[in-house]
Amino acid sequence: MSLEPVAALEALLFATPEPLPPERLAELLPTLSGEEISAALASLKARYASPASGLMLDEVAGGVRLATRPEAAESLARLAIVRPSRLSRPALETLAIIAYRQPITKAEVEAIRGVNIDGVLRTLGERGLIRILGRKREPGRPMLYGTSRAFLEYFGFQDLSELPTLREIEALVAPSQASRPAEHAPREEPERAAPTADSAAGPAAAVPAGSGSDPVPEESG
Q: Check whether residue 62 and residue 93 sit in a common domain.
A: no
1 in Cβ contact with 13 (< 8 Å) = no
- Which residue range forms the structural domain that includes residue 152? 89-198
In the predicted model, what is the mean pLDDT of residues 12-24? 85
> Do 108 and 185 fall into the same domain?
yes
Whether residues 179 and 145 share a domain: the answer is yes
Alpha-carbon distance of 95 to 70, in angstroms, equals 25
Domain boundary among 13, 43, 77: 77
Residue 22 lies in a domain: yes
Mark whether 95 and 161 lie in a shared domain: yes
| Gap between the Cα atoms of 76 and 70, Å rounded | 10
At residue 82 the predicted structure's pLDDT band, cuts being 50, 70 and 90, is low
Distance, CA of 190 to CA of 119 (rounded, Å): 9
Looking at the fold, whether 58 and 114 belong to one and the same domain comes out as no
Is 217 part of a structural domain of the chain?
no
204 is a domain residue: no
Model-wide pTM > 0.95: no
Quick one: 67 and 131 in the same domain? no
CB–CB of 48/206 below 8 Å?
Answer: no
pLDDT, one tens digit per residue, over 140-175 is 899 999 999 888 888 888 888 888 876 776 666 555
Question: 167, 143, 163: which is closest to 152 by C-alpha?
Answer: 163
Based on the domain organization, do 97 and 190 belong to the same domain?
yes
- Domain match, 97 and 30 both: no
Nearest to 24 by CA among 56, 53, 61: 61
Q: Tell me, yes or no, whether 127 and 163 share the same domain.
A: yes
Domain boundary among 47, 77, 107: 77
In the predicted model, what is the mean pLDDT of residues 2-12?
Answer: 83
Closest CA to 93 of 193, 13, 173, 156: 173
Is 95 in the same domain as 174?
A: yes
Instruction: Quote the longest CA-to-CA distance of the chain.
Output: 69
Is residue 82, in this structure, part of any structural domain at all? no
Distances in Å between the Cα of 155 and the Cα atoms of 150, 200, 201, 202 are: 9, 11, 10, 8
| CA pair distance 121, 100, nearest whole angstrom | 16
Count: domains in the chain: 2
Report yes or no on 211 lying in a domain. Answer: no
Same domain, 12 and 99: no
175-212 pLDDT, tens digit each? 544 544 444 433 444 444 333 334 333 444 454 544 44
Q: Is residue 156 part of a domain?
A: yes
CATH no. for residue 146?
A: 1.10.10.10
Whether residue 145 sits in one domain with residue 192: yes
- pLDDT over 80 at 3, yes or no: no
